[in-house]
A = this chain, B = another copy of it.
Amino acid sequence: MARVTPLHRDDPDKEPLAGNVRVTKQDWLNVALDTLITDGIEQVKVLALADRMSVSRSSFYWYFKSRQDLLDALLDHWLATNTKAIITAAEKDARTVTEAVCNIFIGFVDPNQFSTTLDFAIRDWARRSGKVRRVIDTSDAQRLAAITQVFERFGYPSDESLIRAKVLYYMQIGYNDADLQEPMDARQSQVGHYIHAFTGQHASEAELTAFRAAIGAFAP
């Protein structure tokens, strides 16, 4: 009954002694999160998580009241990370629209700020849970409002700003949904076209190279 390394342990200080079969509440959460992302919410099953950590299933009920209790914790985690990341990216100071749009792009792409895979695992989950749907709708509205304000800040009229925010935001959602396989390079080299579609303006070559450099850091 050897203990395997947990998948996403963030605090190495809490690592239990070797040979110890005990796990922390955070371990359960990390494995649950990983399973949610790769296999979907309905695969987050107590037995499956326990097996993955080589621990007894009944141990779970020491940390969580029920499976639902764990799922609530996962949703809370998402709320505290992803939505906050986009809003922060949108509010970041910028001297031109292009720069601001690039900031948002980077916010979506930088894995330190935003987890794309988690985002659409949650979005997925929302389709079978009205409660999650409501949480996500609020979150989408907040993100959209933040992006809309970017355009307004640069002088776009109010109604046009909303449309541009939607084109940008929904395009990101759709991209994540349908086109994750495509290598980042393709998008990079065409980034001028994207920016023109989003802002209605042509970006300067300096802005484009700055963006390519910034985004290049996250290429696979």
Contact = CB atoms under 8 A, between A and B. Distances in A.
A76 interface: no
**Looking at chain A's contact residues, is the secondary structure mostly helix, strand, loop, or mixed?**
helix
Contacts of A10: none
B167 A178 contact: no
Contact of A140 (B163, B167, B178): B178
Interface string A139-162: 010000000000000000001101
B137 A193 contact: no
A120 B127 CA distance: 10
28 contacts: A40-B127, A40-B128, A42-B42, A42-B128, A43-B128, A123-B177, A159-B193, A162-B190, A163-B193, A163-B194, A164-B197, A167-B167, A167-B171, A167-B194, A167-B197, A169-B174, A169-B178, A170-B170, A170-B173, A170-B174, A170-B177, A171-B171, A171-B174, A172-B174, A173-B178, A174-B174, A197-B198, A197-B200
